[in-house]
A and B are shown apart, each in its own frame.
Chain A
Amino acid sequence: MKCFRAISLVLGFLATMLATALADDASIRATIAKFATAKNFSETGEIVRELAAIGDARIERLLLALGEGDVAFRKSDSAVFIVQEKGQTASLFDPLTGEAAGEAPKAAYTKVKVNNSLRRAIRDAIGALTLGAEDPAVRLTAATTMFLNPDPANLEAIEAAIASETNAAVKAKLEDARASAVLVSDRPDSEKMTAVELLGLRGDRNTLSLLTAYGGKADGELKDAVDRAVGRIQASLAFWQAGENVWYGISLGSVLLLAAIGLAITFGVMGVINMAHGEMVMLGAYTTFVVQEIIRSQAPWLFDWSLAIALPLAFLVAGAVGLAIERGIIRFLYGRPLETLLATWGVSLILQQAVRTIFGPTNQQVGNPSWMSGAFELGQLSITWNRLWIVVFTLAVFAILLFVMKRTSWGLHMRAVTQNRRMAASMGIRTPWVDAFTFALGSGIAGIAGVALSQIDNVSPNLGQGYIIDSFMVVVFGGVGNLWGTLVGAFSLGIVNKFLEPYAGAVLGKIIVLVLIILFIQKRPRGLFALKGRAVEA
């Protein structure tokens, strides 16, 4: 009997539990159903806030989907679902439990539209929901979100989270979030003062933004404290600013060097004014595009390796085209610079139009592999991965080229032919072929440059045009015939350009650099590192 009573008690207890759960579910579902009737973004935003206020962790899935634009309601009965589109049909999922709920054609439902302010509301709501998540990384994101979007209503939740937090990094972030929320709350001034002090220690741009915004509203002693903190942050940012300019300069310099390094061989070493140099870069970029296209359709898992695969191919493609140009046109024009200039310019137009005819005039999409996307923070300096890799890559190419020129027998032949052609020929070097392969090497390196440049610039038939002037500038400035000159020339032009840009603007900055180069060439016609000796006079 006792036993029976106990069972019935338990059953009764379970039933009430279930009932409250069901009631909760019903009210959440009723709120969710309102998505179908919201007339504008602010009404949808209200629903998001209402859902967030319920505080059920299951809402997260729905909100995430809403932020991605994957929530829709059926046109026939206004039932709300999470959808995953595939072509013209979509799989439906229950908004609360995430269970599959069949499929429907695209035309049968309407998507709940989201805009930026709604996305912000969703981000904040998710931040509040995930403050107690299992994964510290998720909690950290939540704390960061709350730090960036201070809301006095969250203050108590944050304080509770700080009390129970065990992870030090998350705890520090939560303290920051608390401080930013305290500033906008109606807490006493003493507490705000501590918050300002705490934030003043952080010294990054986001904090500056928060403090400046608050500084406008504060008064008295508090305002002085804010001003002091703002001043301190600005001073530290100014220091980083100089570092930033150097880094941008190095990054621009590496792009210039990459574009110019092939020209340093064809123009610098061989003396051929090669106007089609930019088009070799473009061919390299298009090779990358073709490689990525094939990988996308045939072997998507290889995508992160696409650049590594494209490198040798681009070298071969551009090198082969270079070889053909040298054998077909340039070898008849040695010693006639004007004719070479015109002929290679014609070749560049032909190559451009050929690419335009084959691939179409529009930009082609070349993706960044995952290891080249995004940025990382170094102090207050934000360094993007693709730029960093391009700097590393450029220096590697430069080192390899230097090795080939100085340490291999082929490099020796090459230098011999450029320094004294007749003597080299007498020694049994087949000068015409050395010429051909030197030109092919220069073109091939331009092709490699194209692979790297496809990561930061757009891949279109005009790609090469943008680099040809800069490349000549670098080679002439650095000193014709000297690889080290090209390196120093490229980096100094890059850094000077980037230091001028914040003050003079991009347009004027470029003009000033050009004027400086003209003045410099007047003074030193042979560039930074002029070659000395008989070769120059020949």
Chain B
Amino acid sequence: MRGYNLPFKGLIKAGAFAAGMLAASSVFAQEDTIKVGVLHSLSGTMAISETTLKDTMLFLIDEQNKKGGLLGKKLEAVVVDPASDWPLFAEKARELISVNKVSAVFGCWTSVSRKSVLPVFEELNNILFYPVQYEGEESQRNVFYTGAAPNQQAIPAVDYLMNDEGVERWVLAGTDYVYPRTTNKILEAYLQAKGVKAEDIMINYTPFGHSDWQTIVSDIKKFGSAGKKTAVVSTINGDANVPFYKELGNAGIKAEDIPVVAFSVGEEELAGLDTAPLVGHLTAWNYFQSVDVPENTAFIEAWRTFIKNDKRVTNDPMEAHVIGFNMWVKAVEKAGTTDPDAVIDALIGVSVPNLTGGFSTMMPNHHITKPVLIGEIQADGQMETVWQTSGLVVGDEWSDYLPDSKDLISDWRAPMSCGNFNVATGKCGGKGVN
């Protein structure tokens, strides 16, 4: 209505000025924000887990901007949806780097999605922070693994069961894909190295989304009635867990008799379950929402305010993103630039507080140090820590228990700069992606 009173010329002037401002501001925006890519599935099967991580990234970027941004610039999140479709992950990664010119990408959940984006990050030389526990056997220059390697989750859990629960017979149950298969191979080798006989190990794989667990639960019961203390080590992924635990509960298998230790069940997954029959079953992670330290309490509170839901839970991969993001921020500040080469070098040795009251450091093998916590599921869907490592555990990318990887090490510092250095032959190169 005010424009109506203006002279015609003035109107044009105002319009031109506004247009100029608009153009300027978009130039301004392009020059003055640092873009951060978020590559998590918001639709499809994996949306159940990955959507929360997208929100976590938006939350972290928002918090950082409140603190005044980074290098005097604001951070800007670029969110894309790879829709749980593995080839689409590579496409979207390429789009983030080439079209949106992001400085770093935080994303992926499944190992297959990570494997699909690796060549893209190598080719376009960018940085990926991968926040989920995985099977190891990989160390790539452009990837920083903030989730747990097998020695930071699976092996301590087995140690706990062996020493504190006196378990002698093992069921290794998993979903049929790369993470459970590799983890179980490592665990089998580890158990045999500890003197467990082959007949005391039962390995079982099920398809994705398996929902009829009657036979397997009955097999576990049968396997458990051989007079030796039995435990189940579960690498069952995603949705299949709910019917599995329901069947266990209904079949009357109690945690006191046959405990199940799970590597893929966190607070988020338990939120969809009636946890009463699960009390006492175990999980192994590097973070629990129930960890009672001021850093964690502050984080949970800030997260719930951001997401506007005072019942939202937190979980381990979220913490991994918190650590990864803070490490990246610190490394960029140290390098004084967001140039990937400089940041990749600056990241090694960076140490930031984690949410369990200690510090996590980025090691030369691009894995981080973490405490390992074993928790028992409580009636309220939270985990109670029953055991934890006395110090921090360094992520071991090449398992010492597999014959073809035990001689390999990774060190991305000059002059070695190698992700799979073979100490036996003294040469870089061997198994792996490089």
A365 CB contacts on chain B under 8 angstroms = 271-274
Contact A213 B272 (CB under 8 A): no
Contact B273 A507 (CB under 8 A): no
* A259→B345 CA distance, assembly (Å): 55
Asked whether A248 and B214 contact (CB < 8 A) given A208-B225, A209-B227, the answer is yes
Asked whether A116 and B376 contact (CB < 8 A) given A41-B386, A361-B48, A384-B247, the answer is yes
Contact A457 B242 (CB under 8 A): yes
- Of the 9-residue stretches A16-24, A430-438, A444-452, A458-466, which lies at the interface with chain B? A458-466
Q: Would you list which residues of chain A between 378 and 395 have a CB under 8 Å from chain B?
A: 382, 384-387
**Is B209 positioned at the interface, with any CB of A under 8 Å from its CB?**
yes
Contact A502 B272 (CB under 8 A): no
A384 CB contacts on chain B under 8 angstroms = 247, 250-251
- Of the 9-residue stretches A4-12, A367-375, A396-404, A484-492, which lies at the interface with chain B? A367-375
Asked whether A212 and B207 contact (CB < 8 A) given A116-B255, A363-B272, A375-B252, the answer is no
* A459→B274 CA distance, assembly (Å): 12
Contact A362 B268 (CB under 8 A): yes
Instruction: Select from chain B the residue with minimum beta-carbon distance to A252.
Output: B212
* A505→B175 CA distance, assembly (Å): 12
**Is B301 positioned at the interface, with any CB of A under 8 Å from its CB?**
no
A206 CB contacts on chain B under 8 angstroms = 225
B243 CB contacts on chain A under 8 angstroms = 456-458
Contact B252 A363 (CB under 8 A): no
Contact B250 A373 (CB under 8 A): yes
Contact B225 A363 (CB under 8 A): no
The secondary-structure label for the interface of chain A is helix
Contact B226 A507 (CB under 8 A): no
Contact B271 A466 (CB under 8 A): no
Interface size of A as a range: 35 or more
From B43, B211, B249, B272, give the contact of A466 (CB < 8 A).
Answer: B211
Contact B212 A255 (CB under 8 A): yes
* A384→B221 CA distance, assembly (Å): 14
User: CB-defined interface of B328-364 with A at 8 Å, one 1/0 digit per residue?
Assistant: 0000000000000000000000000000000000000
Instruction: Select from chain A the residue with minimum beta-carbon distance to B273.
Output: A365
Interface size of B as a range: 35 or more
Contact B227 A214 (CB under 8 A): yes
**Is A506 positioned at the interface, with any CB of B under 8 Å from its CB?**
yes
A209 CB contacts on chain B under 8 angstroms = 224-227
**Is B384 positioned at the interface, with any CB of A under 8 Å from its CB?**
yes
**Is A123 positioned at the interface, with any CB of B under 8 Å from its CB?**
yes
Instruction: Select from chain B the residue with minimum beta-carbon distance to A111.
Output: B384
Contact B218 A362 (CB under 8 A): no
B227 CB contacts on chain A under 8 angstroms = 209-216
Contact A387 B214 (CB under 8 A): yes
* A251→B259 CA distance, assembly (Å): 26
From A41, A117, A386, A506, give the contact of B216 (CB < 8 A).
Answer: A506
* A168→B228 CA distance, assembly (Å): 31
Asked whether A368 and B214 contact (CB < 8 A) given A356-B43, A456-B246, the answer is no
Contact A116 B216 (CB under 8 A): no
Contact A363 B164 (CB under 8 A): no
A115 CB contacts on chain B under 8 angstroms = 164, 280, 376, 386-387
From A69, A119, A215, give the contact of B256 (CB < 8 A).
Answer: A119
**Is B222 positioned at the interface, with any CB of A under 8 Å from its CB?**
yes
From B207, B255, B387, give the contact of A506 (CB < 8 A).
Answer: B207
Instruction: Select from chain B the residue with minimum beta-carbon distance to A212.
Output: B227
A382 CB contacts on chain B under 8 angstroms = 218, 251-252
Contact B205 A505 (CB under 8 A): yes
Contact B226 A510 (CB under 8 A): no
* A286→B259 CA distance, assembly (Å): 31
Q: Would you list which residues of chain B between 38 and 55 have a CB under 8 Å from chain A?
A: 42-43, 45, 47-48, 51-52
From B166, B218, B250, give the contact of A385 (CB < 8 A).
Answer: B250
Q: Would you list which residues of chain B between 158 and 182 have a CB under 8 Å from chain A?
A: 164-166, 176
Contact B255 A363 (CB under 8 A): no
Instruction: Select from chain A the residue with minimum beta-carbon distance to B277.
Output: A373
**Is B65 positioned at the interface, with any CB of A under 8 Å from its CB?**
no
Contact B204 A505 (CB under 8 A): yes
**Is B215 positioned at the interface, with any CB of A under 8 Å from its CB?**
yes
Contact B384 A113 (CB under 8 A): yes
**Is B378 positioned at the interface, with any CB of A under 8 Å from its CB?**
yes
B47 CB contacts on chain A under 8 angstroms = 356, 361, 461
**Is A244 positioned at the interface, with any CB of B under 8 Å from its CB?**
yes
Contact B239 A363 (CB under 8 A): yes
A364 CB contacts on chain B under 8 angstroms = 272
The CB with the most chain B CB atoms within 10 A, among A362, A364, A510, is that of: A362
Q: Would you list which residues of chain B between 199 and 250 have a CB under 8 Å from chain A?
A: 204-207, 209-212, 214-216, 218-219, 221-222, 224-228, 239, 242-243, 246-247, 249-250
Contact B215 A501 (CB under 8 A): yes
* A205→B271 CA distance, assembly (Å): 34
A387 CB contacts on chain B under 8 angstroms = 214, 250
B62 CB contacts on chain A under 8 angstroms = none
**Is A413 positioned at the interface, with any CB of B under 8 Å from its CB?**
no
**Is A120 positioned at the interface, with any CB of B under 8 Å from its CB?**
yes
User: CB-defined interface of A344-367 with B at 8 Å, one 1/0 digit per residue?
Assistant: 000000001100100011111101
A178 CB contacts on chain B under 8 angstroms = none
Contact A462 B209 (CB under 8 A): yes
**Is A498 positioned at the interface, with any CB of B under 8 Å from its CB?**
yes
Instruction: Select from chain B the residue with minimum beta-carbon distance to A368.
Output: B274
* A498→B218 CA distance, assembly (Å): 12
Asked whether A375 and B228 contact (CB < 8 A) given A117-B165, A252-B212, the answer is no
From A116, A368, A466, give the contact of B165 (CB < 8 A).
Answer: A116
* A211→B226 CA distance, assembly (Å): 9
* A174→B21 CA distance, assembly (Å): 89
**Is B63 positioned at the interface, with any CB of A under 8 Å from its CB?**
no
* A382→B220 CA distance, assembly (Å): 14
Asked whether A116 and B259 contact (CB < 8 A) given A458-B243, A460-B239, the answer is yes
From B207, B250, B274, give the contact of A375 (CB < 8 A).
Answer: B250
Contact B164 A41 (CB under 8 A): yes
Contact B252 A374 (CB under 8 A): yes
Contact A459 B272 (CB under 8 A): yes
* A464→B231 CA distance, assembly (Å): 32
**Is B407 positioned at the interface, with any CB of A under 8 Å from its CB?**
no
Contact A116 B250 (CB under 8 A): no
B255 CB contacts on chain A under 8 angstroms = 116, 119
Q: Distance (Å) between the CB of B41 and the closest chain A CB? A: 9
Instruction: Select from chain B the residue with minimum beta-carbon distance to A498.
Output: B215
The CB with the most chain A CB atoms within 10 A, among B176, B210, B215, B227, is that of: B215
Contact A462 B272 (CB under 8 A): no
B218 CB contacts on chain A under 8 angstroms = 244, 248, 382
**Is B32 positioned at the interface, with any CB of A under 8 Å from its CB?**
no
**Is B85 positioned at the interface, with any CB of A under 8 Å from its CB?**
no
**Is B400 positioned at the interface, with any CB of A under 8 Å from its CB?**
no
Contact A363 B269 (CB under 8 A): yes
B164 CB contacts on chain A under 8 angstroms = 41, 115, 117
* A460→B43 CA distance, assembly (Å): 12
Contact B280 A119 (CB under 8 A): yes
Contact A248 B215 (CB under 8 A): yes
Q: Add 8 more A-B contacts to A117-B164, A456-B211, A506-B206 (CB < 8 A).
A: A209-B226, A251-B212, A363-B271, A387-B214, A459-B272, A460-B239, A506-B205, A507-B206
Q: B residues near A, CB below 8 A?
A: 42-43, 45, 47-48, 51-52, 164-166, 176, 204-207, 209-212, 214-216, 218-219, 221-222, 224-228, 239, 242-243, 246-247, 249-252, 255-256, 259, 268-269, 271-274, 280, 282, 376, 378, 384, 386-387
10 residue pairs bridging A and B, Cβ less than 8 Å apart:
A115-B386, A119-B280, A363-B239, A364-B272, A365-B273, A375-B251, A382-B251, A387-B214, A456-B246, A510-B207
Among all A-B residue pairs, the 10 with the closest Cβ atoms: A363-B272, A213-B227, A458-B242, A212-B227, A209-B225, A361-B47, A384-B250, A205-B225, A115-B386, A506-B206
